[in-house]
Amino acid sequence: MPACTSLRLLNRPLTAALLTGSLLLGGFLAFPAAAAGTTAVRVNQVGYLPDGPKQATVVTTAAQSLTWQLSNASGTVVASGSTVPRGADTPSGQSVQVADFSSYQGTGSGYVLTVDGSSSDPFDIRADLYDGLRSDAMAFFYHQRSGIAIDASLVGSAYARPAGHLGVSPNMGDTSVPCQSGVCDYTQDVRGGWYDAGDQGKYVVNGGISTWLVVNSFERAARAGTDAALGDSTLRVPERGNGVPDVLDEARWELEFLMRMQVPEGKPYAGMAFHKIHDAAWTGIPTRPDQDAQPRELHRPSTAATLNLAATAAQCARVFRPYDSAFADRCLTAARRAWTAAQANPAMYAPDSDSTGGGAYGDSQVTDEFYWAAAELYATTGESTYRDAVTSSPWHTSASAFTPYGFGWAETAALGRLTLATVPNGLPASDLARIRSSVVSAADGYLSTMAGQGYAVPIPSDGYFWGSNSEAADNAVVMAVAGELTGAARYRAGVLETMDYLLGRNAIGQSYVTGYGEKSSHNQHHRFWAHQLDSSLPNPPAGALAGGPDSALQDPVAQEKLAGCAPAACYIDDIGSYSTNEVAINWNAPLAWLAAYAAERTSTGGQPTASCAVTYKVDNAWSDGFTATVTVKNTGTSAVGGWQLTWSYPGGQRVTSAWNATVTQSGADVVARNADWNGTLAPGATASFGVQGSLTGSNPSPTAFALNGGACG
Ligand code: 9MR
């Protein structure tokens, strides 16, 4: 059963043409003229951050503004206001209004927004809203690992499975894989890496962008001083506790594979990377990786794959250096070899037609990959050869390095720009200023696209193609970097509204992330998480992102079930709809990046900004217990919504109960979160709460506290 057709991302003009065709045929833009009233209130079904934007979209034929009411879990109306009519919304094909309840900064769960007799799904407002998704979206990569048993103690027994593709029968790879006929006369050990998606192919071009995003999420957090959240022992990976940040451990699993795909010295095209390795013919669905009996084959080296290797291995050399200099050296050697080989073979293009048994990932435009690889090599080494390759590239000055449709596996110039804009390098100041301003203007473009739509999606109405959710997520990554470069809050708002889109505020009221939201995708196209076809198999694990609406209807299920859909509604949560409902590493990578960003307790993506003073007073102590009152004061100039106070106990104390806050403890570390009614700390305001705890001897008071990640004075 094919996992995809040979149509691909670069068929955007085709997608646009199909859309236009549908419009001309009077297809999907039908607004029911006579129907009355509100039919749906679409929200982020997980919820909102206390200090973030809070918008909902109301599907209604009403032309006049309506009243919205926000109720808490007990049904009390805590805020109300008026919606703003937006009229016809092209991507959704709906008539909509927008409710903005951002000014409400209380916290809790079970909120409901009601408009005109219709109610939203329930949602939370809390500062730790994205903490779970930060690790779940990243854990997707461990689940997708090839060449290692997936361990029940890390993922639960439903998701455990034997190692796939280690040369154990019936597998016919990946430890000694031959080439397709005529491509090479030797075999290569290409074990490891991540399976691409619902299929078990491993493609260097898609592995490249995915690895880059995973490593970049760490690099960005390190600049913001928030990388501890991605550090060692933060993820469910087997390498926990090895002293290396877990996100980098995960990326290394793929980097080792990417380097195994490099043609060895002494062979034709030495230094190039094989484009991909996958089954000779499509496997059926379900097929657990260890049960795949198809022969595996290496496909011809390509310039695009080679430059993906050069770029990610150069990034590896930079980011791994403090943790493992031998690995960093190995990465740099691979990157240099790949760069040299790509220069010697600048036009070995992977064809679109090569899609039997695996995706094509064809690409005949590789100047952008040259630019990206040169940028990474230059940022890592500072060497003039790479600087010259950067500055002489047409992409260095091109206005289309960022497009409304975002970057992607075939369009990588933006990745080079993001690196040059953020990693210290020796380009002239005027060049750097131009590059940084290109990031900011791209982000402003996405914000203006959002502002023009009823659902605030950072992609244009003709941009709903295969994997559209990654287009939205990738554009949000650019907005986040613009926020870092400028300190302006509007970019973080754009990122958070993009999360709203992915988590339910969209044309069909669908959360596209498994396990997150009332109506969340759970039948994504996957050969192991195929519960819809075999009830003994699991659904996808929490944190898996579906590809999203694809208006070109590129699979039989979509064609049968979605005919006439508005672009943003061309989605079905059916395992057979691989063009709208697959999962993929290049889609989960920006989701994980954004979840880590959104989980930070900060207003612009920069350093935490809360200013605070804390008193910790022991009220009572006895031989094996104590009570204490903790008072936190906001000494800053802006309100702190959804506060969270952290400290460590120096003497083995353990909190056994608390009042006026929710208090949890892990080891010595304590987290106190606001109660529902004291969630916002205005400037100068205080909140007090109490704890009772057990003692094993002395009772020294904690000395250091942090409010929402920022140290208290
Ligand atoms: O993400 C890819 C998309 O841009 C293409 O239009 C599509 C068809 O070629 O292929 C997508 O990638 C798939 C790959 O070819 C095979 N593994 C699953 C990927 C996600 O559907």
User: What CATH number is associated with residue 182?
Assistant: 1.50.10.10
Q: For residue 619, is it within any domain?
A: yes
Q: Which atom of ligand 1 is nearest to the CA of 360?
A: 15
Q: Are residues 444 and 475 in the same domain?
A: yes
**Same domain for 275 and 349?**
yes
Evaluate whether residue 489 is within a structural domain: yes
Ligand 1 within 6 A of CB of 246: no
Protein residue with its CA nearest to atom 18 in ligand 1: 197
Which residue of the set 199, 249, 471, 484 is catalytic?
A: 199
Instruction: Judge contact between 253 and 194, C-beta under 8 A.
Output: yes
- Is there a domain that residue 79 lies in? no
The reply to whether 199 belongs to the active site is yes
Residue with CA closest to ligand 1 atom 7: 8
Residue 311 domain-assigned?
A: yes
Q: How far is the CA of 466 from the centre of ligand 1 (A)?
A: 7
Residue 489's CB: how many other CB atoms inside 10 A? Answer: 15
Instruction: Give start and end residues of each alpha helix (H) in 194-324.
Output: 204-224, 246-260, 303-320
Structure tokens at 704: 């250091």
Domain harbouring 622, CATH code: 2.60.40.290
CA atoms of 438 and 413, how far apart (whole Å): 12
User: Ligand 1: distance of its center to the CA of 440 in Å?
Assistant: 29
Same structural domain, 407 and 542? yes
What span, in angstroms and rounded, lies between the C-alpha atoms of 605 and 221? Answer: 9
Does residue 38 belong to any structural domain of this protein? no
Is 525 a known active-site residue?
yes
Q: Would you state the pLDDT for residue 602?
A: 60
Q: What is the residue with the minimal CA distance to atom 1 of ligand 1?
A: 467
User: Which atom of ligand 1 lies closest to the CA of 361?
Assistant: 15
Nearest-CA neighbor of 339 among 367, 373, 364?
373
| The residue type at 489 | A
pLDDT given at position 24: 27
C-alpha to C-alpha distance for 263 and 304, rounded to whole angstroms = 14
Other beta carbons within 10 Å of 383: 13
Same domain for 466 and 383: yes
474 given a catalytic annotation: no
Q: Which atom of ligand 1 is nearest to the CA of 201?
A: 17
CB of residue 348 inside a 6 A radius of ligand 1:
no
The verdict on 499 and 639 lying in the same domain is: no
Is 346 part of any domain? Answer: yes
Whether 697 maps to a domain, the answer reads yes
Whether the Cβ atoms of residue 521 and residue 541 lie closer than 8 Å to each other:
no
- How far apart are the CA of 549 and the centre of ligand 1, in A? 14
Token readout for 548 is 């999203």
Phi/psi at 571 (5° precision): -145, 140
617 plus 471 within the same structural domain: no
Q: Which helix (H) or strand (E) holds 414?
A: helix 413-422
**650 and 588 inside one domain:** no
Number of domains within the chain: 2
Q: How far is the CA of 186 from the centre of ligand 1 (A)?
A: 28
Task: Work out whether the CA dihedral 295, 296, 302, 304 comes out positive or negative.
Answer: positive
Find the 8 Cα to ligand 1 centroid distance in Å: 6
From the list 474, 573, 574, 600, the catalytic residue is: 573
* Binding site membership of 483 for ligand 1 (Cβ less than 6 Å): no
Residue of 299, 525, 526, 531 marked catalytic: 525
Candidate of 14, 466, 469 to mutate for ligand 1, largest count of ligand atoms within 8 Å of Cβ: 466
Whole-number Å distance, alpha carbon 205 to ligand 1 midpoint, is 11
Contacts of 513 (CB under 8 A, 6+ apart): 133, 137, 502, 503, 520, 521, 542, 543, 544, 545, 546, 591
Residue 617 belongs to what domain range? 612-711
Question: Tens digits of per-residue pLDDT, 176-202?
Answer: 999 999 999 999 999 999 999 999 999
170 and 269 fall within a common domain: yes
250 C-alpha to ligand 1 centroid (Å): 22
Low-confidence ranges of the chain (pLDDT < 70): 1-36, 602-610, 638-639, 641-642, 676-677, 679, 708-709
Per annotation, catalytic residue among 51, 484, 582, 600: 582
Closest-CA residue to 12 (of 461, 546, 586): 461
Ligand 1 atom at minimum distance from 11 CA: 6
Whether 710 lines ligand 1, by a CB cut-off of 6 Å, is no
pLDDT on residue 27: 29
Nearest Cα to Cα of residue 223 among 607, 492, 489: 607
Of 576, 599, 622, which one is at a domain's C-terminal end? 599
Please confirm, yes or no, whether 246 is among the known catalytic residues.
no
* Alpha-carbon span 273 to 259, nearest angstrom: 8
Domain closes at, from 599, 624, 652: 599
In a domain, 558, yes or no: yes
Residues 537 and 630 grouped into a single domain: no
Alpha helix stretches (DSSP H) within 548-636: 556-561, 578-581, 585-598
Same domain for 594 and 659, yes or no, is: no
- From 1, 5, 6, 9, the mutation candidate for ligand 1 (largest count of ligand atoms within 8 A of CB) is 9
Q: Same structural domain for residues 617 and 578?
A: no
In this structure, the answer to whether residues 387 and 451 fall within a common structural domain is yes
Last-in-domain residue among 599, 625, 653: 599
Residue with CA at minimum distance from ligand 1 atom 5: 8
